[in-house]
Amino acid sequence: MTNKEYILRITDQDKTKRLNKIIACLDRNYTLQVAKPTDTFPTFSDITNIIVPARIQTDKIAVMAHWDVYPGSCGYNDNSSGVVTLLKLQKFLPDNVELVFTDGEERGGQGCRFYLEDYPRPTQAINIDVVGLDGRIFYEKYGDVTFSIPRQLKEYRHIPFSDSYILAHYKIPNILMLTGRSANTLILDIFNAEHGGKNDNNLALISENIMNRVFDTLLEILK
């Protein structure tokens, strides 16, 4: 299955259907972490995180991607590209690596906060967000991560909001991985992928090559 076919398989503007389509693609045991507005955790609407728990919880690493999309958006790049990357990783997971599909990123990272408040916290994390647009792979580092960063990644600082901000607030060292045409256009690419932007609603702009490179780079980091 190509990356684009995988993206179409999980895409649905109806949130419940989208959630169920992602779950149907899971080959590992998983936990649904659910918060409702009536709970003590503050949220405006239901939040459902999907967690494929690490077999070894001590010193575990969380690899994360948010599965929610902005209302009215197809979410191909933001962030079905990240979700598909995690789904492909299932068969290659080291025992100390946990997959976390967060909800509510588009509402200020509520799902990531809920994961960190209500589940054993990771020691480090990798956040995959907006990795469908061809060009280069960029990263931003938050805190003192011990990952060996491959040389093909380009560092870019002060990337706009993502779940990495929440991780950093909770003092979880992490890196954010994303892609774009060049350093000069990265911010524009990000904004064009958000909230129903042209990069987010055009499947033709999704690159098989860059998504495969992101996946291979992720495997390299986790080794």
Helix (H) or strand (E) holding 209: helix 208-222
Q: Averaged over 183-212, what is the pLDDT?
A: 91
Altogether, the residues listed in the chain come to a count of 223
C-beta of residue 112 within 8 angstroms of C-beta of residue 50: no
Domain count, the chain: 1
Residue that the structure tokens 């068969």 belong to = 91
CATH number for the domain harbouring residue 144: 3.40.630.10
Q: What is the pLDDT of residue 98?
A: 98
> DSSP states of 83-138 as a string?
HHHHHHHGGG--TTEEEEEES-GGGTSHHHHHHHHHSPPPSEEEEE-S--BSSEEE
Q: CA 86 to CA 103: how far, in whole Å?
A: 14
Structure tokens belonging to residue 211: 């998504």
pLDDT band at 68 (very low <50, low <70, confident <90, very high): very high
Domain span holding position 27: 3-222
Helix (H, G, I), strand (E, B) or coil at 169: helix
| pLDDT tens digits for range 126-162 | 999 999 999 999 999 999 999 999 999 999 999 999 9
Structure tokens belonging to residue 125: 């994390």
Q: What is the pLDDT of residue 197?
A: 83
